[in-house]
Amino acid sequence: MSATGTYRAVQVAASGALELTERPLADPGRGQVRLRVEACGICHTDAGAVHPHPATEPGIVPGHEVVGIIDALGEGVTRWSVGERVGVGFLGGHCGQCASCRRGDFVNCQDQDRTGLTIDGGYAEYMVARETGLVAIPAEMTSVAAAPLLCAGITTFNALLKGAPEPGDLVAIQGIGGLGHLALQYADRMGLRVAAIARGTAKEGLSTELGADHYIDSAATDPGDELAKLGGASVIVTTVASGASSSSLIAGLADRGRLVVVGASSEPVTVSTGDLIGRGIAVLGSLTGTPIENERGLAFAHAQGVKALIEERPLADAAAAFDRMLSGEARFRMVLVP
Ligand SMILES: [Zn+2]
Ligand SMILES: [Zn+2]
């Protein structure tokens, strides 16, 4: 299929602001497909591409929670068909050739595009993606509902799995926002006892509704002490971008507990050698997941009724929607619809 016409996309301008542009439609290259975008979530990681500190060249199209319909196949693509509905997350598709890929570690592929950072993402009517990055979307799930699960969802779902909790274990989720409100639901549906940790009491009611058994106000109490009083958490997933506040949770881990970090921060997480050795605890990070892990996460979410709370906006309102996400006012994920 040859490209004709143009499409609308929201790109990062030289000033760092988001601007709506019109671009010529391009054909997918070898091993790529072209998607007609149906929905794209706005993720905090998009701030790496956008004002005030753009890490990318002007002209990049942000967005890595993309759901669309395949409308053109590049040369050599046999796994996917035109008309199929697929998603693309932050990892834009592995190469299959590098040392990490040959070990089966596709997340750490050394030749992997970062959607919306190193290649154009989904704040657009069309997007071109590598076939190895594609995620099949369950037929019963709407594109808008699926979009935030492709980054925020898989990030927290996989973080919980990496903590390897057992049924009935106490797990804690620090930070009840775009990531945390999903983590609470996954943890509850996995049959775990769930403690939600956030500053203040404003999110207590919602946390309970989403599945939390305990609510810890980190402004009023020491969350590490509170978790210890509950017997200690076998897993703590911290979505807060603060090394210091993550460090304070170490005291709340059960023996052999794991602190799984998904909130990126420039500050270190500090942990004593006594805790590491004497209590056998571990601190680890988790970066989204592979397409097949994403499909497992979507299937789990669909079967168990895990749903992102979403504010939907038209593509033309991307700049305002992005600002709302940055302000922390969004409840909880913004999704753009072309
Ligand atoms: Zn993201
Ligand atoms: Zn690779």
- What's the one-letter identity of residue 206? L
Query: Which of 10-24, 29-43, 132-146 has the weakest average pLDDT?
Result: 10-24
Closest ligand by atom to 97 CA: 2
In angstroms, the CA 290 to CA 122 distance is 18
What is the number of H-type helices and E-type strands within the chain? 10, 15
- 226 pLDDT tier (thresholds 50, 70, 90): very high
Placement of tokens 């943890």 in the chain: 187
Give, in order, the Cα–Cα distances in Å from 207 to each of 50, 202, 303, 307, 321.
31, 10, 20, 13, 24
pLDDT at 266: 85
Give Rg (Cα) of the chain.
Answer: 20
Cα–Cα–Cα angle for 185, 261, 277, nearest 5°? 120
pLDDT at 1: 40
- Give the 3-state secondary structure of 141-187: CCHHHHHHHHCHHHHHHHHHHHHCCCCCCEEEEECCCCCHHHHHHHH
Query: What spacing in Å lies between the alpha carbon of 47 and ligand 1's midpoint?
Result: 10
pLDDT at 55 over 80: no
Query: What spacing in Å lies between the alpha carbon of 116 and ligand 2's midpoint?
Result: 19
Closest ligand by atom to 115 CA: 1
The two tokens of residue 95 are 């190469």
Query: What spacing in Å lies between the alpha carbon of 3 and ligand 1's midpoint?
Result: 29
pLDDT at 261: 95
Query: What spacing in Å lies between the alpha carbon of 65 and ligand 1's midpoint?
Result: 7
| Mean pLDDT computed over 199-211 | 96
Query: What spacing in Å lies between the alpha carbon of 36 and ligand 1's midpoint?
Result: 20
Query: Which of 51-55, 136-140, 277-281, 288-292 has the weakest average pLDDT?
Result: 51-55
Taking the mean position of all CA atoms in its chain, how far away is CA 266? 19
- What's the one-letter identity of residue 295? E
Closest ligand by atom to 111 CA: 2
Residues 6+ apart with CB under 8 A from 72: 1, 3, 27, 28, 33, 34, 82
Query: What spacing in Å lies between the alpha carbon of 182 and ligand 2's midpoint?
Result: 29
Is 87 exposed, middle or buried (CB count within 10 Å of its CB: 0-12, 13-18, 19+)? buried
Query: What spacing in Å lies between the alpha carbon of 288 and ligand 1's midpoint?
Result: 8
Query: What spacing in Å lies between the alpha carbon of 96 and ligand 2's midpoint?
Result: 5
pLDDT at 151: 97
Query: What spacing in Å lies between the alpha carbon of 50 and ligand 1's midpoint?
Result: 13
> Is the backbone of residue 44 left (phi > 0), alpha (psi -120 to 50) or beta?
alpha
Closest ligand by atom to 94 CA: 2
Query: What spacing in Å lies between the alpha carbon of 91 and ligand 2's midpoint?
Result: 11
Which protein residues have a CB closer than 5 Å to ligand 2 (ion)?
94-95, 98, 101, 109, 111
pLDDT at 58: 82
Question: What's the pLDDT tens digit per position in 133-179?
Answer: 999 999 999 999 999 999 999 999 999 999 999 999 999 999 999 99
What's the maximum distance between 2 C-alpha atoms anywhere in the chain? 65
pLDDT at 101: 97
Question: What's the pLDDT tens digit per position in 87-101?
Answer: 999 999 999 999 999
Closest ligand by atom to 99 CA: 2
pLDDT at 52: 62
pLDDT at 304: 97
Question: What's the pLDDT tens digit per position in 228-239?
Answer: 999 999 999 999
Between residues 51 and 203, the one the model is more confident about: 203
Query: What spacing in Å lies between the alpha carbon of 75 and ligand 2's midpoint?
Result: 20
| Mean pLDDT computed over 26-34 | 97
pLDDT at 2: 44
- 297 pLDDT tier (thresholds 50, 70, 90): very high
Taking the mean position of all CA atoms in its chain, how far away is CA 60? 20
Question: What's the pLDDT tens digit per position in 249-269?
Answer: 999 999 999 999 998 888 899
Contact between 274 and 249 under an 8 Å Cβ cutoff? The reply is no
Query: What spacing in Å lies between the alpha carbon of 54 and ligand 1's midpoint?
Result: 16
Query: What spacing in Å lies between the alpha carbon of 74 and ligand 1's midpoint?
Result: 26
* Percent of the chain residues past pLDDT 70, beyond the cut: 98
Query: What spacing in Å lies between the alpha carbon of 61 and ligand 1's midpoint?
Result: 14
pLDDT at 16: 83
In angstroms, the CA 264 to CA 155 distance is 12
Mean pLDDT of the chain: 94
Query: Which domains, and CATH codes, for the chain?
Result: 6-150+289-337 (3.90.180.10), 153-285 (3.40.50.720)
**3-state DSSP assignment of residue 309:** coil
pLDDT at 4: 67
Between residues 266 and 61, the one the model is more confident about: 61
Residues 6+ apart with CB under 8 A from 176: 184, 196, 197, 198, 203, 206, 207
Q: At 8, which helix (H) or strand (E)?
A: strand 6-12
Residues 6+ apart with CB under 8 A from 84: 69, 70, 136
